[in-house]
Chain A
Amino acid sequence: MEDLIQRETLCSQCNTPINGKTKFCANCGYPENGTEKEQSVYHANKVMKKNQVKEDQNRIKSGRNTLYWIAGISFFFGLITFLLNDDSTTFIVQIILAIIYLILAYWSQKKPFAALLSALLLYVLLIAADVVVEPASIFRGIIVKIIIISFLIKGVNSALQNSKKE
């Protein structure tokens, strides 16, 4: 008999005890004592949420791949200027940048929000630094820049939705 009472007061979705006559589970929000319709709405929302999470994860992954691309571009750009112009300063700077992007890409597996946001801010800063040196440079490869920035922004937003207090 005692067993039966206890089973009645547990949420059927997450097994959290439900406080007496309340309609919703305080842990997962399931309308345990609601109508059948309310319960099916809950399930539908849950599926939608799951899809959203999946999409967010894909966007975070694209953001991470973007970082690998930027790291590669930085490295080859540095290497080419070094081979053509014997410019070792640019080479060192580009290598450092490539390493920073790789570190951020690795970090984005654990803390996607912080890592992708850092990468976005760094990327924007580098564009600004080029503008300081040569204002017209902002138009060089502008499509690539916009694509990279939009991938990173999508990644940051998805990470923000997904892991609020990471």
Chain B
Amino acid sequence: MLCSSCKLEIEERANFCPHCGVSVGKKEGSVAKQDMNLIITFYLVEIVFLVIAYLVYRQEVSLTIDIIIESISAIIVLGFVSLDFKNVIRLYRFPKINPLLYLGAIIIPIFTGVIVYYGIELVNSELFFENYNMYADYALYPNSLFWAFLFVTITPPIFEELAYRGFLFNQLQKVTSTKITIILTAFIFALVHFSIISLLWIFPFGLLLGYLRHKYDTLWLGIIIHFIHNLIVLSLDYYYFDTTLLEL
């Protein structure tokens, strides 16, 4: 290791350079603060965007508005990712891991997706006396199934994994330990879903995705699990939406 100040050779485990006395190894406070500011900025931008999106949806719902909002959301994520492009793109490699893991990432979310779906429905109807059908948001659009499929099962796994397990994970790892990074990314991931009920299951879901991202250093497992999960939820919503229509 070389001292960052006087460029002389120093021991790996040194806290200070023995030649010039400069503190080494540990991050300087101001640098950590910069990383921290970027994390806060990312969070605030996401929140402000979500609030504006909700307010726009309340005024008017149309396919055009949906497409615009989804595009802006993707652009925001890509903008932040571009600040740390090299470290994020690295996560798109396929690691040499047991193929069974990929298989597990496909099969296990099928079961957990069903459990979460009925669990949430139970909690919602018991506590809040309401039900929410994801497919209903898209049912009136032309080619409704295509748009629902695109905006529920394709874009969220790609861009949420990129934003939370990619960009945010890397940023947090600069200022704190890996364990805290996994917990905080899961917590923020749960928060931006804007629902107190979802905290109950999205937080553990985020913990799992964060752990896999850390262990295998790839985003693919998270993307697959996230995709299958959303696919299950949308399929069930689609199934029940049709039957409720038939009853009418």
Binding site for B on A (CB under 8 A): 18-19, 22-29, 31, 89, 92-93, 96-97, 100, 111, 113-114, 117-118, 121-122, 124-125, 128-129, 131-132, 135, 156-157, 160-161, 164-166
- Contact partners of B17 in chain A: CB under 8 A: 24, 26
Complex CA distance for A44 and B16, rounded to whole angstroms: 17
Binding site for A on B (CB under 8 A): 10-11, 14-21, 23, 26-27, 29, 32-33, 36, 43-44, 47-48, 50-51, 54-55, 127-129, 175-177, 180, 183-184, 187-188, 191-192, 194, 196, 199
- Contact partners of B196 in chain A: CB under 8 A: 93, 96-97
- Contact partners of A19 in chain B: CB under 8 A: 11, 18
Q: Which of B15, B21, B176 contacts A166 (CB 8 A)?
A: B176
Q: Which of B10, B32, B51, B187 contacts A118 (CB 8 A)?
A: B187
The answer to whether B16 and A131 have CB atoms under 8 Å apart is no
Q: Which of B21, B29, B51 contacts A31 (CB 8 A)?
A: B21
Given contacts A24-B19, A26-B11, A125-B191, contact A166 B54 (CB under 8 A): no
Complex CA distance for A165 and B48, rounded to whole angstroms: 30
- Contact partners of B21 in chain A: CB under 8 A: 23-24, 29, 31
The answer to whether B19 and A114 have CB atoms under 8 Å apart is no
Given contacts A27-B14, A28-B15, A114-B183, contact A131 B51 (CB under 8 A): yes
Given contacts A92-B127, A121-B188, A164-B175, contact A26 B16 (CB under 8 A): yes
How far apart are A29's CB and chain B's nearest CB, in angstroms?
Answer: 4
Q: Which of B33, B43, B184 contacts A160 (CB 8 A)?
A: B33
CB closest chain-B residue, reference A162: B29
How far apart are A97's CB and chain B's nearest CB, in angstroms?
Answer: 8
CB closest chain-A residue, reference B13: A26
Complex CA distance for A111 and B179, rounded to whole angstroms: 11
Complex CA distance for A161 and B18, rounded to whole angstroms: 24
- Contact partners of A161 in chain B: CB under 8 A: 29, 32
What 5 A-B pairs have minimum CB-CB distances, sorted nearest first? Answer: A29-B16, A22-B18, A26-B14, A24-B21, A114-B180
How far apart are A159's CB and chain B's nearest CB, in angstroms?
Answer: 10
The answer to whether B55 and A132 have CB atoms under 8 Å apart is yes
Complex CA distance for A156 and B32, rounded to whole angstroms: 12
The answer to whether B44 and A124 have CB atoms under 8 Å apart is yes
Complex CA distance for A4 and B9, rounded to whole angstroms: 28
How far apart are B210's CB and chain A's nearest CB, in angstroms?
Answer: 13
Complex CA distance for A25 and B32, rounded to whole angstroms: 25
- Contact partners of B19 in chain A: CB under 8 A: 22-24
CB closest chain-A residue, reference B191: A125
Q: Which of B16, B43, B183, B187 contacts A28 (CB 8 A)?
A: B16
The answer to whether A125 and B47 have CB atoms under 8 Å apart is yes
CB closest chain-A residue, reference B128: A89
How far apart are A48's CB and chain B's nearest CB, in angstroms?
Answer: 14
Given contacts A26-B10, A128-B47, contact A114 B184 (CB under 8 A): yes
